Structures are given as C-alpha cells and as structure tokens.
C-alpha cells in the first residue's frame, strides 16, 4: 500500500503520482455506493502490483474542493490581472481574492503587461503592489519575457498545487507559455466561455512544473458568490480580520454597526477605502441574492 496524489482522471481511470512515477488506478467498487468520487488533487492510499493495474483504497480528507473544475486540495491560486488592455480592474481583482479566500486558498497576484505602461501608469500599479503587499498578498509585476518575474512565479510553484485564475485577455496564455507550454492553450479557451454561461465539462490535469503541480484549467468557472454566506464575507478580507477584535459587536459586518474597528481604520487611512467600498458592494450583492431552496 502506498500514498499518492491523483493528477488526472479519465475514462474511469485515476492516474496517481507516487515518488515521481504515475500509476493507472481504478476506484474501489464501494466508492460508488458511498457516493464518494475521487477527484484530481486527492491524496489517496492505493495498491498496485504494476504501473497499469492499481486500485485506490481510500481518499484522505480534503482541504477544499471545487465542482467546476472538479479538483481538490488546491493550495494556492495565481490570480492574473492585466495592467492595461483590459485596464487594471481592482473590483474584479478583489472579487477573485474573495473567491480564493472563501476556499481557503492562498492567492498570488500577478499584474501582467507592465511593459505596456507609461510612467504614471507604472506608478499606479506600484501603488497597488504596495497596497496588496501590505495586506499580506504576494504581488508580482510581470511582463512577457521578463525573466525576473518568471523566476518569482516559478519559485512560488514549488511543492504546492496551484490553479490559475483571471479573466480572458489578461495575458494568461503568453504568461503561462513562458512558464510551461503545456499550460497555455486550455486556460484561455475556457475563460473565453466564462461570461456566456457555458459549463464546459472537461478533464482536469495537474502538470509537474517547477517542482509543483499546476492545473491546466482555470480555477473559477463562475465569479458569483453563490456559495458564500453573508457572515463569511468579512473573513475573506485579511486586513479586516486583523482588526475585528476591536469591533464592539461580535460578528460585526462592518457596515451599519456602531464602534466598528474596521470603519475606524478606513477613516484613519490604514485600510484602503477602495477595498472597503468593494466589500460593501459584495455585501449588498450577497444580501440581494435570491433565496435558494
Ligand atoms: Zn466592525
């Protein structure tokens, strides 16, 4: 018996990576009865006499899981956002950050196309780099063929399972192509269909890149806060969490409550008012969500 990680699921087979070798396995019959289905990213116990005929015996508890794409145990998300064409969109970036935080995934922010900016625009991006950096998020300002940025990105990939996120047209393809050509094509194809409500079912595969595993499918097929409860939203803003003990009320939503530490920090300029306004926008969006049955 051995432990490994599922890196691909296809036609009823699971491909388990164990000490650098891949084992083709089937799920045990009773998974179906228990309504448990192994996912790419799962850590599993398996038994295999050779590399073609293995059996998955059990699945370890998951740290997180996605339905679309079907993947489990993601450590981090590389959120790619462009500095220009399309313009840098802080609201969209904050939306991605909330989705990532809600899944307990660590974000890494990559701002692409830095080579296409004038001096003022560069200063603006450096302001964001500082702002998000102070929250605790790694920020990488990048351009295609910028070896320093590529080295930085690759250094983040080691020993972790990573998904890529970001709207289409932000330069994911060319960026990923410079990391590893196996990643580049599929990611943008899928995100193109994002806004059109298509639910593309396709297989997910984890590729070994820079001593880590990277999914070839974007991490978020929907940008709605469908699974997020109102009370969870403040937890998705680390700079709010850092001061929330100072709020008068437990479970403070930092909105209309009096003596709110978050609002005080916003007024004092210690928390970005832009982030706070995005928070209020998301709060309203969740409050106005149609009830689900
Ligand atoms: Zn508060």
Q: Do 194 and 158 belong together in one domain? A: yes
Per-residue model confidence as pLDDT tens digits over 97-134: 999 999 999 999 999 999 999 999 999 999 999 999 99
Residue 88 falls inside a structural domain: yes
State in Å: Cα 276 to ligand 1 middle.
11
Structurally, how many domains does the chain consist of?
Answer: 3
Residue 92 falls inside a structural domain: yes
Cβ atoms of 277 and 94 within 8 Å: the answer is: no
Q: Do 91 and 180 belong together in one domain? A: yes
CATH number at residue 239: 1.10.40.50
> What is the percent of the chain with per-residue pLDDT over 90, rounded to a whole number?
67
Rounded to whole angstroms, how far apart are CA atoms 17 and 36?
A: 20
Q: What is the mean pLDDT of the chain?
A: 88
Residue range 234-257: average pLDDT? Answer: 97
Rounded to whole angstroms, how far apart are CA atoms 200 and 276?
A: 34
State in Å: Cα 185 to ligand 1 middle.
44
Domain range for 247 is 230-287
Residue 224 falls inside a structural domain: no
Phi, psi of 246 (to 5 degrees): -80, -10
Q: Do 41 and 98 belong together in one domain? A: no
pLDDT of residue 267: 98
Domain boundary among 175, 192, 216: 216
Residue 38 falls inside a structural domain: yes
Domain boundary among 191, 216, 241: 216
pLDDT of residue 220: 75
Q: Do 209 and 161 belong together in one domain? A: yes
3-class secondary-structure state, position 49: coil
CATH number at residue 172: 3.40.50.300
Q: Do 114 and 199 belong together in one domain? A: yes
Cβ atoms of 57 and 28 within 8 Å: the answer is: yes
More confident residue, 291 or 214: 214
Q: Do 200 and 273 belong together in one domain? A: no
Q: Do 78 and 120 belong together in one domain? A: yes
Least confident of 5-9, 155-159, 215-219, 237-241: 215-219
State in Å: Cα 244 to ligand 1 middle.
6
Q: Do 108 and 210 belong together in one domain? A: yes
Q: Do 150 and 174 belong together in one domain? A: yes
State in Å: Cα 68 to ligand 1 middle.
33
Cβ atoms of 88 and 82 within 8 Å: the answer is: yes
Residues with CB under 5 A from ligand 1 (ion): 247, 252, 254, 260, 262
State in Å: Cα 264 to ligand 1 middle.
9
State in Å: Cα 225 to ligand 1 middle.
21
Per-residue model confidence as pLDDT tens digits over 44-89: 999 999 999 999 999 999 999 988 788 999 999 999 999 999 999 9
State in Å: Cα 85 to ligand 1 middle.
36
Domain boundary among 24, 43, 61: 61
Query: How crowded is residue 155: how many other Cβ atoms within 10 Å of its Cβ?
Result: 12
Sheet of strand 161-165, all strands in order from the earlier edge strand to the far edge: 139-141, 106-112, 76-82, 161-165, 212-215, 206-209
> What is the percent of the chain with per-residue pLDDT over 70, rounded to a whole number?
91
Rounded to whole angstroms, how far apart are CA atoms 86 and 50?
A: 50
pLDDT of residue 194: 46
pLDDT of residue 196: 42
Say how far residue 233 (Cα) sits from the centre of its chain.
16
CATH number at residue 45: 2.40.50.140
State in Å: Cα 227 to ligand 1 middle.
23
Q: Do 179 and 112 belong together in one domain? A: yes
Give whole-number Cα distances, 240 to 97, 131, 253, 260, 270, in Å: 14, 14, 10, 10, 11
State in Å: Cα 98 to ligand 1 middle.
18
State in Å: Cα 235 to ligand 1 middle.
11
Q: Do 124 and 147 belong together in one domain? A: yes
Q: Kindly report whether the peptide bond that precedes residue 86 is cis, defined as omega within 30 degrees of 0.
A: yes
Residue range 264-282: average pLDDT? Answer: 98
pLDDT of residue 168: 75
Per-residue model confidence as pLDDT tens digits over 167-213: 877 777 777 777 777 766 555 454 444 444 444 446 788 989 889 99
Q: Do 122 and 186 belong together in one domain? A: yes
Kind of pairing, strands 76-82 and 21-27? unpaired
């Amino acid at each position: 018996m051995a432990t490994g990680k599922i890196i691909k699921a296809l036609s009823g087979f699971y491909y388990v990576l164990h000490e650098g070798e891949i084992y083709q396995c089937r799920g045990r019959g009773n998974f179906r009865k228990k309504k448990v289905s192994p996912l790419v990213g799962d850590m599993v116990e398996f038994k295999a006499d050779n590399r073609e005929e293995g059996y998955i015996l059990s699945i370890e508890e998951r740290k997180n899981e996605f339905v679309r794409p079907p993947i489990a145990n993601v450590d981090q998300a590389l959120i790619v956002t462009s500095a220009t064409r399309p313009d840098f969109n802080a609201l969209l970036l904050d939306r991605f950050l909330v989705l990532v935080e809600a899944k307990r995934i660590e974000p890494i922010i990559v701002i692409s196309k830095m080579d296409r900016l004038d001096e003022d625009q560069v200063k603006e991006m450096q302001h964001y780099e500082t702002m998000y950096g102070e929250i605790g998020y790694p920020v990488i300002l990048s351009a295609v063929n910028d070896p320093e940025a590529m080295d930085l990105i690759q250094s983040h990939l080691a020993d972790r399972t990573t998904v890529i996120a970001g709207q289409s047209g932000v330069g994911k393809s060319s960026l990923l192509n410079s990391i590893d050509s196996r990643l580049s094509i599929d990611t943008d194809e899928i995100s193109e269909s994002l806004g059109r409500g298509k639910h593309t079912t396709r297989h997910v595969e984890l590729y070994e890149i820079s001593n880590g595993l990277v999914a070839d499918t974007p991490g978020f097929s929907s940008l709605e806060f469908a699974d997020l409860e109102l009370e969870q939203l403040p937890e998705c803003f680390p700079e709010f969490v850092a001061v929330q003990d100072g709020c008068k009320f437990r479970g403070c939503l930092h909105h209309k409550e009096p003596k709110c530490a978050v609002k005080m920090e916003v007024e004092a300029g210690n928390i970005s008012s832009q982030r706070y306004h995005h928070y209020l926008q998301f709060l309203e969006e969740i409050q106005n969500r149609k009830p689900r049955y």
